[in-house]
Amino acid sequence: MATGQLFSQTTQALFYNYKQLPIQRMLDFDFLCGRELPSVAGIINPGAEGFQKLFFGQEEIAIPVHSTVEAACAAHPTADVFINFASYRSAAASSMAALKQPTIRVIAIIAEGVPESDTKQLISYARANNKVVIGPATVGGIQAGAFKIGDTAGTIDNIIQCKLYRPGSVGFVSKSGGMSNELYNTIARVTDGIYEGIAIGGDVFPGSTLSDHVLRFNNIPQVKMVVVLGELGGRDEYSLVEALKQGKINKPVVAWVSGTCARLFKSEVQFGHAGAKSGGELDSAQAKNQALSDAGAVVPTSYEAFEDAIKETFEKLVEEGRITPVKEVKPPQIPEDLNIAIKSGKVRAPTHIISTISDDRGEEPCYAGVPMSSIVEQGFGVGDVISLLWFKRSLPRYCTQFIEICIMLCADHGPCVSGAHNTIVTARAGKDLVSSLVSGLLTIGPRFGGAIDDAARYFKDAYDRGLSPYEFVESMKKKGIRVPGIGHRIKRGDNRDKRVELLQLFARTQFPSVKYMEYAVQVETYTLSKANNLVLNVDGAIGSLFLDLLAGSGMFSKPEIDEIVEIGYLNGLFVLARTIGLIGHTFDQKRLKQPLYRHPWEDVLYTK
């Protein structure tokens, strides 16, 4: 492996398996370092294509999304780092696919638990083709002031505190990603900071070893000293011991192998990483520390003394003139995300939507303040839910029963009415449920099912002004307006609409007052004297009875009643009810496998 520097300010990566936070952290680091181009050239999300919006400093950018490794590599030939956030189940296959691409030079595998046999194949292929694998089970790596992999070094605040926004003089390699963050901080306190840091990963078979990276650091002129953090288990550290003994490393190495406490346990101990397992004597932290010390590395007596050892080594190099400490620079301010700034109380921003009927932010959704569990436990019905979501209050049971009766009675009126006809024709054209439903709903209006609001509006105005049925009907006639809620194509005075009779019967037995309904009946008596088809229809019955519900329940003020009628609540009942029937007609046509509908010629009058 050896060679030298892996990353630079122009390095770009392909990110496999989209994760918003790690990518945004990479882009924020780019901005902090003064990069001109984002370090993420493209995203690979199997089965998806398009773009993902993210921030590059203050600017919002669109990063291309590709469905395959091959497509991404072809689209971004200069991106030579592959950052793999796939799960352990698919990490090996996607990593091998990337290794086989001629443009990919370095792969970082984040997942832990990748099958060891798969990892060995990746390592073998990478070495045979002169490529670098970092991981599995790694957080990644970082080139200070230039490039970082995923979540390496954590938050921007931590990166700034560790001075990783500009290069220092120390090369660092560790097995542990978590301890890397700790050491970045330690090194920044007692030296001029990190030049490059790598976490090789904690699995038994890492894609690259501690010594691989130390030997690389030895070839990088800017790296003046090396810090190594190993751990008990395995023999990886001994390859570093051999390299030191053979004189392959000519820069000071400060090393510590953690896990000395393992000897306190009577039996073999498995620590956090798969590879951190206390076995024989040679695998122990004590043996490794001793071997490193004997080979010439600076090894402290404990982890607590590690910081002092790093400091003393750095200061000695400064005194000898081998290190000129890097001058400190002030990093730019990273724009803060709005949601974070709002939570911290730094800014206030106007909302774009107001909602008063429901809230899904807690442990369970609430309708008008009533938790979903209460709705179920109290046996609420559809009428109760409508009362909460439409009227923002729990109405008496007779009110919610009336709402449910309206829905049942208006759910359907056969296949010949406008809405059902449109839905049937659309369904037979092979369209989907929503298209078929909407085609029927769009027919609802003043001529079909949409007269409930107008009926309520006109009956209320006439009754409240004290107009007699004669005055009301004649005044409407003079204005050229048909009385909404009066008239039917089929029903007559001697063949009343059964739905109207059922609604009136329920109201007379359950409502405390039916003054508006009785007024509508008086109007019907007058209109029937003019024509036998001018009966009170279902629109008029629902409109007048809903006025009685609102006024008689004592739960609505007069302005609230006026607003409900004006907004169109009552037509909402018909829309909701008829939706049930239109869905039924759609399913019926599809179940019957009906062909495309074509209207017969003989039913069309062709004329000039």
Is residue 397, in this structure, part of any structural domain at all? yes
Is residue 525, in this structure, part of any structural domain at all? yes
Q: What is the CATH number of the domain that holds 36?
A: 3.40.50.261
pLDDT value, residue 344: 87
pLDDT value, residue 349: 78
Residue linked to tokens 């009754």: 463
Residues 397 and 531 occupy one common structural domain: no
Name the active-site residue from 66, 76, 213, 273: 273
Is residue 334, in this structure, part of any structural domain at all? no
Residues 201 and 279 occupy one common structural domain: yes
- The answer to whether the Cα torsion of 439, 441, 442, 448 is positive or negative is positive
Residues 195 and 165 occupy one common structural domain: yes
Q: For the residues of 396-459, what is the DSSP string, one character each? A: -HHHHHHHHHHHHHHS---SSSHHHHHHHHHHHTT--HHHHHHHHHTT-BTTBB--HHHHHHHH
pLDDT tens per residue across span 251-281: 999 999 987 765 555 556 545 544 445 556 6
Is residue 450, in this structure, part of any structural domain at all? yes
Is residue 599, in this structure, part of any structural domain at all? no
Residues 280 and 362 occupy one common structural domain: no
Residues 517 and 580 occupy one common structural domain: yes
Residues 235 and 381 occupy one common structural domain: no
Ranges in the chain, pLDDT < 70: 1-2, 261-281
Number of domains in the chain: 3
Residues 120 and 94 occupy one common structural domain: yes
pLDDT value, residue 366: 96
pLDDT value, residue 271: 54
Q: What is the CATH number of the domain that holds 428?
A: 1.10.230.10
Provide the β-strand partners of residue 445. 448, 449
Residues 182 and 239 occupy one common structural domain: yes
Range of the domain at 315: 13-320
- The answer to whether the Cα torsion of 101, 69, 16, 274 is positive or negative is negative
Residues 142 and 215 occupy one common structural domain: yes
Is residue 307, in this structure, part of any structural domain at all? yes
273 is known as an active-site residue: yes
Residues 376 and 456 occupy one common structural domain: no
Residues 294 and 381 occupy one common structural domain: no
pLDDT value, residue 268: 62
> What is the model's pTM?
0.68
Residues 155 and 63 occupy one common structural domain: yes
pLDDT value, residue 177: 79
pLDDT tens per residue across span 433-444: 999 999 999 999
Q: For the residues of 104-171, what is the DSSP string, one character each? A: --EEEE--S---HHHHHHHHHHHHHTT-EEE-SS--EEEETTTEE-TTTT-SHHHHHHTTTTS--SEE
Q: Looking at 320, 348, 373, which one is the last position of a domain?
A: 320
Is residue 91, in this structure, part of any structural domain at all? yes
Is residue 362, in this structure, part of any structural domain at all? yes
